[in-house]
Amino acid sequence: MAQKPVEELSEQEAAQELERLASEIAEHDRRYHSEDAPVITDADYDALRARNNEVEARFPALIRSDSPSRKVGAVPSGRFSKVRHTRPMLSLDNAFSDEDVADFIGRVRRFLGLGNDEPVALTAEPKIDGLSLSLRYERGRLKVAATRGDGQTGEDVTSNVRTIGDIPDRLTGSGWPDMMEIRGEVYMGKADFLALNEAQAEAGGKVFANPRNAAAGSLRQLDAAITAARPLKFFAWGWGETPGSDFATQMSVLETLEAWGFITNPLITLTQNLNEALRHYRLIEEQRASLDYDIDGVVYKVDRLDWQDRLGMVSRAPRWAIAHKFPAEKAQTILKDIEIQVGRTGALTPVAKLEPVTVGGVVVSNASLHNEDEIERLGVMIGDTVIIQRAGDVIPQIVSVLKEKRPLDAVPYTFPDHCPACGSAALREGDDVVVRCTGGLICPAQRVERLRHFVSRDAFDIEGLGEKQIKAFWDDGLIESPADIFKLQRRNADAETRIEDREGWGELSARNLFNAINQRRSISLDRFLYALGIRHIGQTNARLLARSYLTLDDFLWAVTEAVNDPESAAHADLLNIDGIGPKVVETLLDFFREEHNLAVVQDLIGQITVEDFEKPLETSPVAGKTIVFTGSLEKMSRAEAKARAEAMGARVSGSVSAKTDLVVAGPGAGAKLKKASDLGVKVIDEDGWLTMTG
């Protein structure tokens, strides 16, 4: 509906409109913050606020006490609604050498059971250093654009993306499916980046560290008009749902995407073998400096889509693709000091403090020295000139020391034998290279690090509660354990200095924080287990545990049982989980053996709901079943059979027990087959397995 220009509003109309806007905007704020379910786009929301401001500017006497403009200056960040990806947005495994690429092809061959002379055609294309984006089209029109986020859920940036010229709002050509999702990389050209930074500096605005950050900052603008003014570009490199199903090869999809109006990278080529792939890598590497966009490697993808399907994914990356990274960029600088950081598991990590230097377009002033042995191996002293390298997003490292440049006053470094944070003894256990603080939970550094891990992106993911805030709340005794985070609002009400009265905070930002915390009172079991920060329980192991036990109750029952009785079936079951080794089980049980850890967990559970793990493909005939493969398989490799079973929700075990539901036996099966028949476990052959799993 066309709006009446503000100049033409009567005073009465203006008053009515301000009343309507105040309640409408408040309602959208509520939906966004409390329900996490906004009903309008960011652009529409911004337009409402802009209209409110315009009317108020003309009729200042009518400004209401509940006016949204009174909250201005604190338009909450993170005003993007969430989009759940129908297929996860994956990352890529890396190859750092020609051998790594050869190994990759070897793995593909083995997985698919291909003969040595069967060619494996790969596409080879630049890896664009930008941000991945998912674009959903319905009947040829762009409906939703979302960032990658954590791979499962991203942010809705549709109105911003509509301003990017390379991204068609309507598809051209014909033959596109009714619904499809295209994926690719948003990036900023090098020349555009320099010009933008110059303009930003002149206007006193934010200067970006590199084109990638500039692209990210420009895409995540609350005001789409700002995005529109930024020179963002887009290369399509793949798809989520469809259109792959009607195509035979990766290459043919990309060609079709061009016909539908997308830009694909001109350096993509099809290679027939390792040598051709590596030749193309060198060619792209030679052109790297003269390209107008940053790239950080070459991506190879298995061209045949039926093979891609069979290969599937492992952890968070497809088995059918790999990123061959360019060698790290290097620079020379001076080591000014070595500082010790204490991690969440008590590890003492030496960090090199450097004379700031630019490496690959980024200013570096810290580098990792890993551990005590590394310092010894490098023979580095404070004051030395060192060579550092930086590859992609990884922390820069010191690779060598220019001993001939060593000044006379260089100081050798002695690794501490006490924790710098709590003074407890710091020891190396057995053949571990890591020196660890023995202070456990009395060490403030470990506790703060655990909290930081707890709220981090892959754990509870609490927006607005970062390292700085955790440290500040810790220092004031507001947050001492995970449960305290969920009691924060209450504790804050009784606190001496309330959060809203602190430097850098206000009513609104405090409210936003409490809202962000409240939104996370419900969490999936795998995230919960990961968040506890138990040594060796990273995301992969957390997921394996969640998948095995499905509910928190079952998990806690099992670990308690295993702690109390090492001979129990619960203990044996833990050790039987495929992918979880004895060392992991030991540290897991060590954790739950400690009374204070149990208390922390119980306290936390009182504040939140832990959702049951969602079994993948519940309806498949093997979902939830424990399967053992034995003997040789002829139609697929063992790896492929196992991956397929797991993708269909089964658990694959290495040994037959009373818990085994099914044994798939090929020729040459021996002891396991015998045990299965002794126990009365169902046995089928490979053909039976193929029929069962389609």
Nearer to ligand IVH by C-beta: 49 or 183? 183
Minimum Å gap between C-beta 499 and ligand IVH is 36
Minimum Å gap between C-beta 280 and ligand IVH is 13
Rounded (10°) angle between helices 569-576 and 582-593: 130
Nearer to ligand IVH by C-beta: 83 or 321? 321
- Bridge partners, 179 (sequence order): 138
Minimum Å gap between C-beta 362 and ligand IVH is 18
Asked if 254 touches ligand IVH (CB under 6 A), the answer is no
Strand order of the β-sheet with 94-95 is 94-95, 321-325, 295-302, 122-128, 269-271
DSSP element (H, E) containing 562: helix 552-564
Q: Of these, 21, 22, 83, 90, which contacts ligand IVH (CB under 6 A)?
A: 90
Question: Is there a contact between 100 and 297 (Cβ–Cβ < 8 Å)?
Answer: no
The backbone torsions φ and ψ at residue 427, rounded to the nearest 5 degrees and listed phi first, read -130, 160
Judged by CB under 6 A, which stretch of 105-113, 315-323, 419-427, 602-610 contacts ligand IVH?
315-323
Q: Of these, 125, 155, 372, 461, which contacts ligand IVH (CB under 6 A)?
A: 125
CA–chain centroid gap for 59, Å, is: 48
Distances (CA, A) of 470 to 159, 287, 448, 479: 34, 45, 7, 7
Asked if 321 touches ligand IVH (CB under 6 A), the answer is yes
Question: Is there a contact between 448 and 353 (Cβ–Cβ < 8 Å)?
Answer: no
Nearer to ligand IVH by C-beta: 299 or 610? 299
Residue that is written with structure tokens 């792939």 in the block? 277
Cβ count within 10 A of residue 464: 17
Question: Is there a contact between 170 and 264 (Cβ–Cβ < 8 Å)?
Answer: no
The backbone torsions φ and ψ at residue 587, rounded to the nearest 5 degrees and listed phi first, read -70, -35
Nearer to ligand IVH by C-beta: 301 or 511? 301
Judged by CB under 6 A, which stretch of 189-197, 215-223, 317-325, 370-378 contacts ligand IVH?
317-325
* Pairing status of strand 295-302 against strand 313-314: unpaired
DSSP element (H, E) containing 284: helix 274-287
The 10 Å CB-count burial string (b at 16+, else e) for 134-161 is: bbbbeebebebbbbbbeeebbbbbbbbb
Cβ count within 10 A of residue 670: 10
**Binding residue count for ligand IVH, defined by CB under 6 A:** 15
User: What single DSSP character describes residue 549?
Assistant: H
The backbone torsions φ and ψ at residue 652, rounded to the nearest 5 degrees and listed phi first, read -105, 125
Judged by CB under 6 A, which stretch of 20-28, 40-48, 86-94, 351-359 contacts ligand IVH?
86-94
Question: Is there a contact between 636 and 113 (Cβ–Cβ < 8 Å)?
Answer: yes
Nearer to ligand IVH by C-beta: 148 or 310? 148
Report the alpha-carbon angle 16-20-22, nearest 5. Answer: 115
Judged by CB under 6 A, which stretch of 123-131, 329-337, 643-651, 686-694 contacts ligand IVH?
123-131
The DSSP line for 622-639 is TTT-EEEEES--SSS-HH
Minimum Å gap between C-beta 253 and ligand IVH is 12
The backbone torsions φ and ψ at residue 615, rounded to the nearest 5 degrees and listed phi first, read -70, 130
Judged by CB under 6 A, which stretch of 1-9, 121-129, 427-435, 664-672 contacts ligand IVH?
121-129
Quote the CA–CA distance of 66 and 26 in Å, as a whole number: 9
Question: Is there a contact between 299 and 129 (Cβ–Cβ < 8 Å)?
Answer: no
Residue length, the chain? 694
Asked if 71 touches ligand IVH (CB under 6 A), the answer is no
Q: Within positions 366 to 395, which residues make up the interface with ligand IVH, using CB under 6 A?
A: none
User: What single DSSP character describes residue 613?
Assistant: P
Quote the CA–CA distance of 100 and 103 in Å, as a whole number: 5
Minimum Å gap between C-beta 268 and ligand IVH is 8
For residue 143, give every residue at least 6 positions away whose Cβ sits within 8 Å of its Cβ, in sequence order, or none. 136, 137, 158
Nearer to ligand IVH by C-beta: 92 or 523? 92
Distances (CA, A) of 490 to 478, 486, 498: 10, 9, 11
Quote the CA–CA distance of 546 and 501 in Å, as a whole number: 41
Distances (CA, A) of 294 to 74, 210, 690: 34, 9, 45
Coil, strand or helix at 104: helix
Minimum Å gap between C-beta 90 and ligand IVH is 4
Q: Within positions 127 to 146, which residues make up the interface with ligand IVH, using CB under 6 A?
A: 127-128, 132
Nearer to ligand IVH by C-beta: 531 or 643? 643
Nearer to ligand IVH by C-beta: 299 or 378? 299
Nearer to ligand IVH by C-beta: 323 or 656? 323
Minimum Å gap between C-beta 93 and ligand IVH is 9
Question: Is there a contact between 531 and 453 (Cβ–Cβ < 8 Å)?
Answer: yes
Q: Which of 71, 82, 127, 615 is catalytic?
A: 127
Q: Within positions 537 to 556, which residues make up the interface with ligand IVH, using CB under 6 A?
A: none
Minimum Å gap between C-beta 133 and ligand IVH is 8
Minimum Å gap between C-beta 235 and ligand IVH is 7
In angstroms, the first-to-last Cα distance of the chain is 53
Residue 127 a catalytic site member: yes
Q: Of these, 68, 154, 168, 238, which contacts ligand IVH (CB under 6 A)?
A: 238
Asked if 323 touches ligand IVH (CB under 6 A), the answer is yes
Nearer to ligand IVH by C-beta: 236 or 488? 236
Q: Of these, 299, 369, 391, 627, which contacts ligand IVH (CB under 6 A)?
A: 299
Judged by CB under 6 A, which stretch of 88-96, 152-160, 394-402, 411-419 contacts ligand IVH?
88-96
Which single residue brings its beta carbon nearest to ligand IVH?
132
Nearer to ligand IVH by C-beta: 269 or 489? 269
Nearer to ligand IVH by C-beta: 132 or 160? 132
Minimum Å gap between C-beta 212 and ligand IVH is 10
Nearer to ligand IVH by C-beta: 323 or 455? 323
Quote the CA–CA distance of 649 and 479 in Å, as a whole number: 39
Minimum Å gap between C-beta 245 and ligand IVH is 16
Coil, strand or helix at 179: strand
Minimum Å gap between C-beta 239 and ligand IVH is 10
Asked if 303 touches ligand IVH (CB under 6 A), the answer is no
Asked if 157 touches ligand IVH (CB under 6 A), the answer is no
Asked if 91 touches ligand IVH (CB under 6 A), the answer is yes
Residue that is written with structure tokens 């051998």 in the block? 99
Asked if 92 touches ligand IVH (CB under 6 A), the answer is yes
Asked if 237 touches ligand IVH (CB under 6 A), the answer is yes
Question: Is there a contact between 473 and 479 (Cβ–Cβ < 8 Å)?
Answer: yes
Site string for ligand IVH, 183-212 (x = CB under 6 A): --x---------------------------
Judged by CB under 6 A, which stretch of 90-98, 108-116, 366-374, 675-683 contacts ligand IVH?
90-98
Minimum Å gap between C-beta 526 and ligand IVH is 21
Judged by CB under 6 A, which stretch of 124-132, 333-341, 619-627, 658-666 contacts ligand IVH?
124-132
User: Which residues carry out catalysis?
Assistant: 127
Provide the binding-site residues for ligand IVH, judged by CB under 6 A. 90-92, 125, 127-128, 132, 148, 185, 237-238, 299, 318, 321, 323
